[in-house]
């Protein structure tokens, strides 16, 4: 039996639901409020040329969005509505579209990325000039903006107390889903002149990627399948998550990124299991809390990723002299192409280049190697991940890179430098992950696969490995690079010592 819903006074005759990073019907905050407050609701999505025109013509994320929109459109049609899909500059398109549809209000879920805030400010102004209201709602996070502050009213900059505050505040109210489907009778089909199907990739100027080949599920149905799979094995997450050859992660990052699954649903399930003593669920819930943490860091400290050029959260780290010039460019290219001579790093880069995904442990290893072995500016790696990760999230990507380079809030100490060989030996002990992505090393024995340059000549010959030919020699010596890094970070140590002395 469907839920019995109370009658609601409708504030507007007609509204527009603007889908963005929330490509689902269920538990969608803005859609729920639109349906509750409007007698009729028309739905739209804009392939934003301000974003898309800067991307390569083959991009898995664009294809993921497109396939998810096809499912969303079908679901909305089944409920009596549909989806208008435009290919335009969103900040120029929404107000004219709202006027053409004769709506009195536009509803959307909030996005605190600096570019998104600037876009929404322009849309707000254009809509206000037309006498149309613009309502935004929290949907990406459990807690956002000023919802969690210290006792002195300041935003948290250290994760552990933030996590404690998050867990102390969260309850059924914050995790309760929005029953949008229960008010779907307000959905209206798009007027005939707007009723074109979701455009093909070619129609928006893109070519197919290997998304289907990789069997990456799209849309709400794909997300639901992954949720079902993950929660059957979440009990092992706390131990399995560190081993890249094991099916340990949730693989839900891209679905969280584009909102084909609700953060409230995931956090609610994990919170319930963690309260029952599930160590795996508690660990994964901690990862979701990190996500909220980085959202609020970006909201309160937009300088970390503003204007297309990130700055260090801790300004003394911007004084570091990173390696630059032609040789630095060659090192960076070797890192990008997975040609560093360190197998775990190279396999990680092969994974992201081939699939748009990189295991979380390896994101830390690859980032540490770029900054602290190669001495390259972390922003170069941040931009590379932003271009290639299917689940790229500005706040988390920036936070992760600043953590690895020690320049961010609650980051690892500058003198903590991952050893790529010992990381490999510990987290890929049998070399299964390395063999999957570096088949040229597959026949090396386990003892040699983590550092092929240490293998005996007969081992290399038997495995068909020719260092410098079919697999590179190490482009840096880790021990020497570590010493150079400690010297490079000396400027930070001096700044910290000076600050202590003046305190």
Question: For the segment 60-85, what is each residue's pLDDT rounded down to a tens digit?
Answer: 999 999 999 999 999 999 999 999 99
Instruction: Provide mean pLDDT across the span 210-239.
Output: 97
* pLDDT the model gives residue 3: 38
Instruction: Provide mean pLDDT across the span 140-153.
Output: 97
Is 70 exceeded by the pLDDT of residue 501?
Answer: no
Q: List all residues 6 or more positions away from 341 whose beta carbon is below 8 Å from its beta carbon.
A: 452, 453, 467, 471, 472, 473, 474, 475
Domain boundary among 108, 139, 170: 139
Kindly indicate the confidence band of residue 503, based on its pLDDT and cuts at 50, 70 and 90.
Answer: low
Is 60 exceeded by the pLDDT of residue 226?
Answer: yes
Q: Which of 147, 203, 306, 360 is catalytic?
A: 360
* pLDDT the model gives residue 380: 96
CA atoms within 13 A on the CB side of 207: 3
Instruction: Provide mean pLDDT across the span 200-209.
Output: 98
Question: Can you give the CATH number for the domain in which 59 is found?
Answer: 3.40.50.620
Q: d(Cα 198, Cα 217) in Å, to the nearest integer?
A: 18
Please indicate, yes or no, if residue 328 is contained in any of the structural domains.
yes
Please indicate, yes or no, if residue 197 is contained in any of the structural domains.
no
Is 50 exceeded by the pLDDT of residue 5?
Answer: no
Q: Which of 378, 390, 397, 403 is catalytic?
A: 378
Q: d(Cα 82, Cα 76) in Å, to the nearest integer?
A: 5
Kindly indicate the confidence band of residue 2, based on its pLDDT and cuts at 50, 70 and 90.
Answer: very low
Instruction: Provide mean pLDDT across the span 412-426.
Output: 90
Instruction: Provide mean pLDDT across the span 432-455.
Output: 98
Question: Can you give the CATH number for the domain in which 433 is found?
Answer: 1.10.579.10
Q: Is 361 in the same domain as 468?
A: yes
| 39-to-10, 35, 103, 229 alpha-carbon distances in Å | 6, 7, 11, 39
Rounded to an integer, what is the distance from CA 466 to the centroid of its chain? Answer: 38
Q: Is 330 in the same domain as 397?
A: yes
SS3 sequence of 315-346: HHHHHCCCCCCHHHHHHHHHHHHCCCCCHHHH
Please indicate, yes or no, if residue 385 is contained in any of the structural domains.
yes
Q: Is 269 in the same domain as 322?
A: no
| 71-to-78, 182, 199 alpha-carbon distances in Å | 11, 19, 13
* pLDDT the model gives residue 7: 45
Q: Is 91 in the same domain as 134?
A: yes
Q: List all residues 6 or more positions away from 456 whose beta carbon is below 8 Å from its beta carbon.
A: 448
Kindly indicate the confidence band of residue 1, based on its pLDDT and cuts at 50, 70 and 90.
Answer: very low
Q: Which of 166, 290, 335, 403 is catalytic?
A: 290
Q: Is 477 in the same domain as 422?
A: yes
Q: Which of 287, 316, 425, 459 is catalytic?
A: 287
Q: Is 345 in the same domain as 492?
A: yes
* pLDDT the model gives residue 4: 37
**Residue 137: helix, strand or coil by DSSP?**
strand
Instruction: Provide mean pLDDT across the span 135-160.
Output: 96
* pLDDT the model gives residue 17: 98
Q: Is 236 in the same domain as 360?
A: no
Mark whether 67 is an active-site residue: no
pLDDT tens per residue across span 238-294: 999 999 999 999 999 999 999 999 999 999 999 999 999 999 999 999 999 999 999
Please indicate, yes or no, if residue 66 is contained in any of the structural domains.
yes
Distance between first and last Cα of the chain: 66
Mark whether 322 is an active-site residue: yes
Tell me how many domains the chain contains. Answer: 3
Is 60 exceeded by the pLDDT of residue 307?
Answer: no
Instruction: Provide mean pLDDT across the span 161-184.
Output: 97
Q: Is 413 in the same domain as 273?
A: no
Domain boundary among 300, 332, 367: 300
Mark whether 37 is an active-site residue: no
pLDDT tens per residue across span 91-114: 999 999 999 999 999 999 999 999
Q: Is 254 in the same domain as 347?
A: no
Kindly indicate the confidence band of residue 413, based on its pLDDT and cuts at 50, 70 and 90.
Answer: confident
Q: Is 270 in the same domain as 332?
A: no
Residue 127 backbone dihedrals phi, psi, to 5 degrees: -70, -40
Mark whether 284 is an active-site residue: no
Please indicate, yes or no, if residue 310 is contained in any of the structural domains.
no
Q: Is 329 in the same domain as 290?
A: no
Instruction: Look up the domain containing 155 and give its range.
Output: 140-178+220-300
Kindly indicate the confidence band of residue 322, based on its pLDDT and cuts at 50, 70 and 90.
Answer: very high
| 443-to-89, 335, 428, 438 alpha-carbon distances in Å | 52, 23, 15, 10
For residue 38, give the H/E element and its range: strand 38-48
Please indicate, yes or no, if residue 15 is contained in any of the structural domains.
yes
Domain boundary among 300, 334, 349: 300
Q: Which of 316, 322, 419, 425 is catalytic?
A: 322
Please indicate, yes or no, if residue 113 is contained in any of the structural domains.
yes
Q: Is 165 in the same domain as 256?
A: yes
Please indicate, yes or no, if residue 20 is contained in any of the structural domains.
yes
For residue 84, give the H/E element and its range: strand 83-88
* pLDDT the model gives residue 8: 54
Question: Can you give the CATH number for the domain in which 263 is found?
Answer: 1.25.40.80
Q: d(Cα 453, Cα 118) in Å, to the nearest integer?
A: 51
């Amino acid at each position: 039996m469907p839920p019995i819903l109370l009658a609601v006074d409708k504030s507007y005759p007609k509204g527009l639901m603007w889908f963005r990073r929330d490509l689902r019907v269920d538990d969608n905050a803005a859609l729920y409020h639109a349906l509750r407050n409007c007698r009729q609701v028309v739905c739209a999505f804009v392939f934003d040329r301000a974003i898309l025109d800067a991307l390569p013509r083959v991009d898995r994320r664009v294809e993921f969005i497109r396939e998810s929109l096809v499912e969303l459109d079908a679901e909305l049609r089944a409920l009596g509505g549909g989806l208008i899909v435009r290919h335009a500059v969103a900040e120029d398109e929404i107000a004219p579209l709202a006027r053409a549809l004769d709506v009195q209000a536009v509803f959307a879920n909030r996005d605190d990325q600096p570019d998104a805030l600037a876009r929404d400010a322009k849309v707000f102004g254009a809509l206000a000039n037309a006498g149309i209201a613009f309502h935004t709602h929290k949907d990406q996070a459990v807690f956002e903006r000023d919802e969690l502050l210290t006792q002195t009213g300041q935003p948290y900059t250290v994760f552990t107390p933030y996590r404690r505050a998050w867990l102390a505040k969260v309850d059924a109210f914050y995790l309760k889903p929005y029953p949008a489907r229960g008010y779907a009778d307000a959905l209206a089909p798009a007027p005939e002149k707007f009723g074109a199907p979701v455009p093909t990739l070619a129609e928006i100027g893109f070519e197919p990627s290997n998304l289907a080949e990789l069997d990456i599920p799209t849309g709400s149905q794909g997300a639901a399948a992954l949720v079902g799979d993950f929660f059957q094995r979440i009990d092992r997450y706390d131990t399995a998550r560190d081993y890249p050859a094991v099916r340990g992660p949730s693989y839900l990052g891209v679905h969280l990124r584009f909102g084909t699954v609700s953060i409230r649903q995931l956090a609610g399930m994990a919170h319930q299991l963690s309260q029952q003593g599930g160590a795996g669920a508690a660990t994964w819930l901690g990862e979701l809390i990190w996500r909220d943490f980085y959202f609020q860091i970006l909201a309160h400290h937009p300088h970390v990723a503003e204007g297309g050029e990130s700055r260090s959260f801790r300004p003394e780290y911007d004084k570091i002299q990173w390696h630059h010039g032609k040789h630095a460019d060659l090192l960076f290219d070797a890192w990008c192409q997975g040609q560093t001579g360190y197998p775990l790093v190279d396999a990680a880069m092969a994974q992201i280049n081939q699939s748009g995904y990189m295991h979380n442990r390896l994101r830390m290893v690859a980032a540490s190697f770029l900054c602290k072995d190669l001495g390259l500016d972390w922003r170069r790696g941040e931009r590379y991940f932003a271009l290639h990760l299917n689940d790229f999230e500005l706040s988390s990507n920036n936070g992760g890179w600043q953590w690895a380079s020690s320049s961010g809030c609650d980051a690892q100490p500058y003198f903590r430098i991952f050893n790529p060989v010992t990381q490999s030996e510990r987290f890929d002990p049998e070399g299964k992950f390395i063999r999957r992505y570096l088949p040229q090393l597959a026949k090396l024995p386990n003892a040699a696969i983590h550092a092929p340059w240490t293998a005996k000549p007969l081992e290399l010959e038997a495995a068909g490995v020719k260092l410098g030919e079919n697999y590179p020699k190490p482009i840096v010596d880790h021990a020497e690079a570590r010493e150079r890094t400690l010297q490079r970070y000396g400027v930070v140590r001096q700044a910290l010592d000076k600050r202590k002395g003046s305190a």
